Amino acid sequence: MSGYKSLLSILMFLFVFPIFAQNHWDNYIHEKNEGSTYLIFGDNVNLRESNNINSKVLKKLSIGDSVKILSKTNQILEQNSVKEYWYKIQSEKDIGYVWGGLISDYSFEWNDKTILARNLGIRLGKLELKLIQNNQIISNGSWDVGPMSNEGWNHTIYQPTSFAPAPVAVFGIRYLIFSEIEYGYTNEQIFTIDKDLKFVPQFSWNPGACDPPSCAETWLIFPNENLPADKRINRKLTKGKPNTIIELTHSFDVDDESSHEYFQSEYNWDGTIFQKKGK
C-alpha cells in the first residue's frame, strides 16, 4: 500500500468508523485538574457561596483572573449545549464555587498578552480561543475540531518572520481528539494572528496515528529549517522552502521493517493564508 493510501486508511478509520459505532466518549464530560491553577474564561463571573446559580455571590471575577481548583463537585450544569461540573475554587483569599464552563481549559502567554482556550465539549466538538490583555478581550473565535479530551494540551509559538509578509504571530495549539483507535490521537491546529489581532485558522495536522500494523508519523518543516536524513527509516534530507511549511508524513508497517513510504504536502503562504499543495 502506498504511503498516501496507508495514511488515508488510518485517517478514514479515525474519522469514519465512529459514525457506525457507539463512541466510547459519548458520556464524557471533561474536567479540570484538582490542585491546578486556571484562568477565568468568562467576564464578570460570579464566585458563588454554593454550587448553583441561585446561591449568594461572594465576588466578581474578571476574564484572565487566576483561580486554583480545590475540588470538583458532583453538580453538573448545561448551558448553550455545554455541559460541565461546578468547581470549588480559590481566588486570592476567597473560596467559592464557579461553573467549569466559565474557566479556561488551557492558556499561554504571547508577548504581553494571553491566549485562553476552552473545550466546548463532546456535543459541540469546538475549540474556543480568546486573546486578552489586562483583563480585556481583544479577539475571540471558535472552530470545529471534533470530540476533544482535556488531556494533552500544549502549544508551540513559531517564528512569524520566517514568512513574508510576516503575520503578527504563528502558533499551534495541541489537544487530544477521541478516536476508536486506542484512546485518541494528538492534533495540532495552526493559527496566525493578523494585523488586527484576529485569529486566523490555517490548517491542522496529526503528528502520528497508528492502527497496527499500519502507522504514520508526521513532521512540519519551516522555511529556515532542515529535517535531517535518517537511514534507519529511509528518510531523506528535507530542506525548508521560502514562504512554505512542508508537511512530511512517514507511513510504515510495524511488522515489516523494510516498509517505509513518504507523502509530502506543502502549505504556501500568500500573506493571509497557507494554501495547500500536495505532491
Residues 75-90 pLDDT 10s: 999 999 999 999 999 9
Cα→Cα distances 144→124, 125, 177, Å: 8, 6, 12
Rounded Cα gap, residues 50 and 68, in angstroms: 16
Half-sphere exposure of 117 (CA within 13 A, CB side): 25
Question: Cell 521493517 identifies what position?
Answer: 257
4 pLDDT more than 50: no
Cβ distance 200 to 192 under 8 Å?
A: yes
Q: State the pairing for strand pair 94-99/214-221.
A: unpaired
Mean pLDDT, all residues of the chain: 91
* Domain-wise residue ranges, the chain: 3-27+149-278, 37-102
DSSP letters, the chain, are --HHHHHHHHHHHHHTGGGGS--TTTT----PPTT-EEEB-SSSEEEESSSSTTSPEEEEE-TT-EEEEEEEEEEEEEETTEEEEEEEEEETTEEEEEEGGGB-SEEEEETTEEEEEEE--TTT-EEEEEEEETTEEEEEEEEE--SB-SS--EEEEE-GGGSSSPPSEEEEEEEEEE-SSSSEEEEEEEEEE-TT--EEEEEEE-SEEEETTEEEEEEEE-TT-EE--BGGGTBPPEE--TTEEEEEEEEEETTEEEEEEEEEEEEEE-SS-EEEEE-
Q: What's the rounded mean pLDDT across residues 6-35?
A: 64
Cβ distance 189 to 129 under 8 Å?
A: no
Q: What's the rounded mean pLDDT across residues 150-174?
A: 97
What φ, ψ does residue 18 adopt, rounded to 5°?
-60, -20
- According to CATH, what is the number of the domain 37-102? 2.30.30.40
Rounded Cα gap, residues 112 and 257, in angstroms: 48
260 pLDDT more than 50: yes
- Strand order through the sheet with 169-178: 154-158, 169-178, 184-193, 199-205
Residues 248-257 pLDDT 10s: 999 999 889 8
Residues 86-143 pLDDT 10s: 999 999 999 999 999 999 999 999 999 999 999 999 999 999 999 999 999 999 999 9
Rounded Cα gap, residues 6 and 250, in angstroms: 10
192 pLDDT more than 70: yes
